Amino acid sequence: MSDIKKVVLAYSGGLDTSVIVRWLQDTYDCEVVTFTADIGQGEEVEPAREKAKALGVKEIYIEDLREEFVRDYVFPMFRANTIYEGEYLLGTSIARPLISRRLIEIANETGADAISHGATGKGNDQVRFELGAYALKPGVKVIAPWREWDLNSREKLLAYCEERDIPVEKKKGKSPYSMDANLLHISYEGINLEDPWAEAEEDMWRWSVSPEAAPDKPTYVELTYSRGDIVAIDGEEMKPHVVLETLNKMAGDNGIGRLDIVENRYVGMKSRGCYETPGGTIMLRAHRAIESITLDREVAHLKDSVMPRYAEVIYNGYWWSPEREALQALIDQTQAYVNGTVRLKLYKGNVDVVGRKSEDSLFDEKIATFEEDQGAYDQKDAEGFIKLNALRLRIAAGKGRKL
């Protein structure tokens, strides 16, 4: 007899998690609580309620977390100009800590003994969900069906559904790829993408037109920043999730945000994936632009030096860790004067910064000018500066040392 009486499941309403509901009921003889989060995946989440009811679920949580997701997770990450392995904007990674937190909160609210998820045993998400859960509730029991059952193919899952009369909607034209979507991005894996030499099919992409098909006329947009976060687009104040929704549409229409990479998963393997992050691509470029005129040089370089570590922390699932909180405190402190406006030109897959201004700008035209500066900068001072910095090089060269 299992000591698990109630389990909170991260539930999408799709094939995998529908099977998991019944599998948990059969295997653990337990009550299942479902939790479905709307974080901007672009699909209606309310149908999950009827699907869960049909499986005998009595406690059903469906929550709109879009605002919280962007405000408390996406925006803090972008303050650091976070990018993993030089390319990936961490769209999947940053959604997991929020889902983990709500799973634990719902487990506490309902008196559940365990939580469960549909992540496979090969991926990073199992690590992210579970590290977050253990950080927030050390003694929680985690049930990961993909590490326990033998239903390791779509055919077996469908057969399981047929044997147990589990209703599964078979959508016409559904993408064959393994996909994950939220307000920040869509990821695509599997099928032909498992061959790193094969080009992604054009009809795979959902949010963006190809750069070749983008308008021949550029789109200009102005983003207003306050303490490192975008607060307005073209002068119109917006909530964080509306900012991202607006930028996604604007960027996607201009063929911006597609990425095709082979990344190093935390679990050890290399994985090829394609990502659409239209709004995030604009946000990264614009944030670096506003920082370029508002941040002190050494502070900017310090941020750049810790960013790869911060990116790894998020990618690997350590959002709820002391090192992430320490890094976040440093990053947030640097954003006090990151205020102002950036003007961008969007054109056929490109994001060009064409203007930046701020009342907190450290750019001094009187000093930087190539024209007469009225004594603002004494060029003779550069001679001593250069000689002092060359001293160690001159000493080594004088000793005959070779580089």
Which residues carry out catalysis? 16, 96, 125, 178
Judge whether 312 and 124 are in contact, CB under 8 Å. Answer: no
Contact (Cβ atoms closer than 8 angstroms) between residue 269 and residue 207 = no
d(CA 90, CA 100): 16
Query: How are the residues of the chain apportioned to helix, strand and coil, as percentages rounded to the nearest 5?
Result: 45, 20, 35
Residue spans of beta strands (DSSP E) within 39-166? 59-64, 114-116, 141-143
Q: In whole angstroms, give the CA distance from residue 27 to residue 2.
A: 9
Secondary structure element (H or E) that encloses residue 270, with its range: strand 270-276
Cα distances from 148 to residues 22, 45, 201, 223, in angstroms, run 14, 28, 34, 48
Q: Which residues of 265-278 are buried (b: 16+ CB within 10 A; e: fewer)?
A: ebeeeebbbbbbbb
As a whole number of angstroms, the distance between CA 195 and CA 99 comes to 31
Q: Who's near 243: CB < 8 A, 6+ residues apart?
A: 70, 230, 231, 233, 279
Query: Edge-to-edge strands of the sheet including 178-181?
Result: 178-181, 186-189, 270-276, 258-264
Place of tokens 């679920």: 57
CA distances from 318 to 124, 131, 331 (A): 12, 7, 16
